[in-house]
Amino acid sequence: MDFSVSAPVPFDVKDASAVDDLIGLYGECHAHDLPGIPSLPDHIRRAIIVEGNPGRASDIEVIRDGSRIIGAFKLVRFLSDNENLATVDVLVHPSHRGQGLDTILLDRALNLAQAHSRSEIIAAVDYLVGCDEDAAAERRLLESRGFTQSQLEGYHYADVDNIDDEAERAYYERARAKAEGYELLQWTGQVPREHMEPLLRLEHMILTEIPTGDLDLQAETFGVERSIERQRLRTEAGTDVVQTVVRDPDSGLYVGYTVLLVYAAPAEHAAQGITLIDPEHRGKGLGMWLKLANLRLLREHYPRVRLIETDTADVNAGMNAINKKLGFATRYYSEEYLKRA
């Protein structure tokens, strides 16, 4: 090592030039580890670093070589629900790997997690399809610290015009016929205030309905103020939503929804957010109908968006069945690890 490694120091999110430096580190790690995969736009990274996420607290610490950040970790703690849980993300600049910085950063993050009484810590290792050996060193480090593999998450991509018109129309009509009696609500841009409360019932199901490996999660119970805060942050970052909801006219309840996040121009890719159907209403074509109706809405309002990114657990048979029909192809994996203290 041609520099002396100091212990990680807390990162000041108000220091704009340090934030630029950290965003640079994220960008260089992404380009090295996941070449060819669209990266999260820098302004979104900035918003996440500076503002965090509603209902979560973040601690970032960094190691510098001179004034340049060459390693960092981010520990995210769940607040109010699942207060035993934290996620940790360790980054080391590609030209400083193999020097033990990852161990120093991970150990410090685990100490901090312990100080915050976190008993379940999640970490992930990313690699391109066919390159899982690239993740060997990270895997070994996590296992040496008591992590075990919990779940494999695939990142899948499809062009917005990927499936041919006829096949798409056939899927749409079939799903709509199966879903007869239900109605769709749609919007783009911001989530209108009047839909936030009825959506909460579904949002509270997310952590217990999507596959999360060996994690033992409790349903979240947040109120509408979190939806309002999330909308404020999205608006500030210039992120639009393209959202479709299915309503059961008999009960008036919202029983399913899907959302795409469209980043500010010139971004050409959109990220699939959650798709969820109330368990009582599954197997009736609603998932497929929603996804296709939302895709149509995306094409109509955001013709600049060419590519959709979505991630799904390998074991999620339902979501993977739909994504496969829509022609999504897996380009990289995120192997999720869990440590129970």
Ligand X SMILES: CC(C)(COP(=O)(O)OP(=O)(O)OC[C@H]1O[C@@H](n2cnc3c(N)ncnc32)[C@H](O)[C@@H]1OP(=O)(O)O)[C@@H](O)C(=O)NCCC(=O)NCCS
Give yes or no for residue 210 binding ligand X (CB under 6 A).
yes
How far apart are CB 149 and ligand X at their closest, in Å? 19
Give yes or no for residue 316 binding ligand X (CB under 6 A).
yes
Question: Given candidates 92, 122, 312, 326, which one binds ligand X under the rule CB under 6 A?
Answer: 312
How far apart are CB 127 and ligand X at their closest, in Å? 20
> Residue 284, Cα to own-chain centre: how many angstroms?
27
By CB under 6 A, the residues from 154 to 193 that bind ligand X are 175
Give yes or no for residue 277 binding ligand X (CB under 6 A).
yes
Question: Given candidates 75, 109, 259, 319, which one binds ligand X under the rule CB under 6 A?
Answer: 319
Question: Given candidates 26, 112, 287, 305, which one binds ligand X under the rule CB under 6 A?
Answer: 287
C-alpha 54/C-alpha 57 separation (Å) is 8
Sequential DSSP letters for 229-263:
HHHHHHHHHT-EEEEEEEE-TTT--EEEEEEEEEP
C-alpha 139/C-alpha 29 separation (Å) is 17
The contacts of residue 269 (CB under 8 Å, 6+ apart) are: 38, 263, 305, 306, 307, 308, 309
How far apart are CB 334 and ligand X at their closest, in Å? 12
How far apart are CB 124 and ligand X at their closest, in Å? 15
Mark residues 124-143: x for contact with ligand X by CB under 6 A, - for none: --------------------
Q: How far is CA 166 from CA 170, 287, 307, 324, in A?
A: 6, 19, 20, 16
Which among 11-19, 61-69, 116-124, 309-317 is the span making contact with ligand X, rule CB under 6 A? 309-317
Give yes or no for residue 245 binding ligand X (CB under 6 A).
no
Which among 129-137, 185-193, 212-220, 314-322 is the span making contact with ligand X, rule CB under 6 A? 314-322
How far apart are CB 243 and ligand X at their closest, in Å? 15
Here the tokens at position 340 are: 């129970």
Phi, then psi, of 176 in degrees rounded to 5 = -65, -40
How far apart are CB 75 and ligand X at their closest, in Å? 24
Q: How far apart are the first and last CA of the chain?
A: 32
Handedness of CA 173, 175, 181, 183 (dihedral sign): negative
Q: Are strands 183-189 and 148-159 parallel, antiparallel or unpaired?
A: unpaired
How far apart are CB 158 and ligand X at their closest, in Å? 14
Which among 14-22, 40-48, 60-68, 271-279 is the span making contact with ligand X, rule CB under 6 A? 271-279
Q: Check residue 323 and report its DSSP letter.
A: H
The residue among 200 and 210 lying less far from ligand X, judged by its C-beta, is: 210
Question: Given candidates 146, 189, 192, 283, which one binds ligand X under the rule CB under 6 A?
Answer: 283
State the number of binding residues for ligand X (CB under 6 A): 21
Per DSSP, which regions of the chain are E strands?
9-10, 56-65, 68-78, 85-92, 120-128, 148-159, 183-189, 240-247, 254-262, 269-277, 307-313, 329-340
Question: Given candidates 57, 177, 317, 341, which one binds ligand X under the rule CB under 6 A?
Answer: 317
Give yes or no for residue 119 binding ligand X (CB under 6 A).
no
Instruction: Give the CA count within 13 Å in the CB-facing half-sphere of 71.
Output: 23
Q: Which of 305, 246, 253 is nearest to 275 (CA)?
A: 246
The residue among 103 and 330 lying less far from ligand X, judged by its C-beta, is: 330
The residue among 141 and 286 lying less far from ligand X, judged by its C-beta, is: 286
Footprint of ligand X (CB under 6 A): 175, 209-210, 274-277, 282-288, 312, 316-319, 321-322
